[in-house]
Structure 1
């Protein structure tokens, strides 16, 4: 099992309720993926950074809402999570790296 860091940049025009649901769904996704792939995943730390200015516009957005996660998972879980994050429309950017 490896340690991973995941940083998400969400659209700032999302409602608070929608943002919370999206962040909860992300954590549930890697926990769910870990259970179904006979691999393990567990959240170590969740850190919500809030709204910040972007260095450059992304999809016509100049601000982004940041969330950062540290978690332990098997490589299969990280690969599956990477695929699911690519199709999420409300995520402007994400970075998933092994720590």
Structure 2
């Protein structure tokens, strides 16, 4: 298994329950595809470096996990089609 890190920004207009549902959804994708969640860090609302969809803030989440390339590909696919996600990035960590 490879080590990955995913950083994503959730729309700040969503309430806490909706944001938590999105976070749990992505945790479930990692564990459901045979991956292992190493660390989940909710940074909370932060100011964006630039405006995205006329918003100046976003709810940041950092997730570190181990998994196969198929796990990262599935995460990428679901990030693209999830409405509450403003931006995301998945990177493979060097050991």
TM-score by structure 1 length?
Answer: 0.90
Q: Match of 1:83, SS?
A: helix
Q: Hey, what does 1:37 align to over in structure 2?
A: none
| Structure 1 segment 3-82 matched on structure 2, within 5 A | 3-32=3-32, 34=33, 40-82=34-76
Unmatched tracts of structure 1, length 5 or more: 35-39
Q: Hey, what does 2:86 align to over in structure 1?
A: 92
What is the Cα-based RMSD across aligned positions, in Å?
Answer: 0.8
Q: Match of 1:12, SS?
A: coil
Moved runs in structure 1, 4+ residues, more than 3 A? none
1:77, CA displacement in angstroms?
1.1
Unmatched tracts of structure 2, length 5 or more: none
TM-score by structure 2 length?
Answer: 0.94
